[in-house]
């Protein structure tokens, strides 16, 4: 018996969400579907990122996106948003600063802390890569059956909210709210 099958037989079937299915099974189905979609989205992201003049890694681009959506951040808060150690965020910030994509300035309230913000060049990279991703994703959505699009919107909005990801058109959070 596979570990997955064993975990299904070892757990009681609580409430059913549709005939012949249990809540755990639905979680497994959703998880598998999200993993498959995430592979597609990572491939789209990698392709759109590979077309930039600058050689950026996906984690570095993610840092730029966080700064774009959240506004200027303390280094420690960037590390929290990226779920990395502050030392990892520091090295990433140093590389992005050297590439001219972010500014690093001392925090006027605590000179031992750094405040990170996007430069105009960093903003342009985020915009260009996002537009390429948007175009490729739009082409995929156009190939979907029209009647399934509203359900996809609702599901993705709920998934993103559960994961704490702000909408793509989210206004940055002011520095004082960090």
Average pLDDT over residues 166-171: 63
In this predicted structure, the answer to whether residue 9 has a pLDDT above a threshold of 80 is no
CATH architecture of 22-165: Orthogonal Bundle (1.10)
pLDDT at res. 109: 86
Per-residue pLDDT tens digits for 58-106: 899 999 999 999 989 999 999 999 999 999 999 999 999 999 999 999 8
In this predicted structure, the answer to whether residue 7 has a pLDDT above a threshold of 60 is no
pLDDT higher for 17 or 168? 168
pLDDT higher for 19 or 174? 19
Per-residue pLDDT tens digits for 95-147: 999 999 999 998 888 888 889 999 999 999 999 999 999 999 999 999 999 99
Each domain of the chain, given as residue ranges in start order, spans 22-165
pLDDT at res. 111: 83
| The pTM of the whole model exceeds 0.85 | no
**Both tokens assigned to 124:** 């342009």
pLDDT at res. 177: 35
Per-residue pLDDT tens digits for 35-48: 999 999 989 988 88
């Amino acid at each position: 018996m596979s570990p997955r099958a064993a975990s299904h037989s070892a757990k009681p079937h609580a409430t059913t969400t549709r005939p012949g299915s249990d809540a755990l099974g639905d979680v497994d189905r959703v998880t598998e579907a999200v993993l498959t979609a995430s592979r597609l989205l990572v491939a789209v992201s990698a392709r759109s990122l590979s077309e930039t003049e600058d050689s950026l890694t996906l984690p570095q681009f993610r840092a730029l996106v966080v700064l774009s959506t959240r506004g200027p951040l303390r280094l420690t808060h960037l590390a929290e948003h990226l779920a990395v150690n502050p030392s990892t965020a520091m090295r990433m910030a140093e590389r992005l600063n050297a590439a001219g994509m972010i500014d690093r300035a001392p925090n006027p309230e605590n000179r031992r802390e750094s405040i990170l913000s996007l430069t105009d060049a960093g903003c342009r990279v985020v915009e260009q890569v996002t537009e390429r991703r948007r175009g490729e994703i739009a082409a995929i959505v156009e190939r979907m059956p029209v009647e399934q699009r509203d359900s996809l919107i609702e599901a993705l909005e709920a998934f993103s909210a559960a994961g704490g990801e702000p909408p793509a058109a989210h206004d940055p959070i002011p520095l004082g709210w960090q």
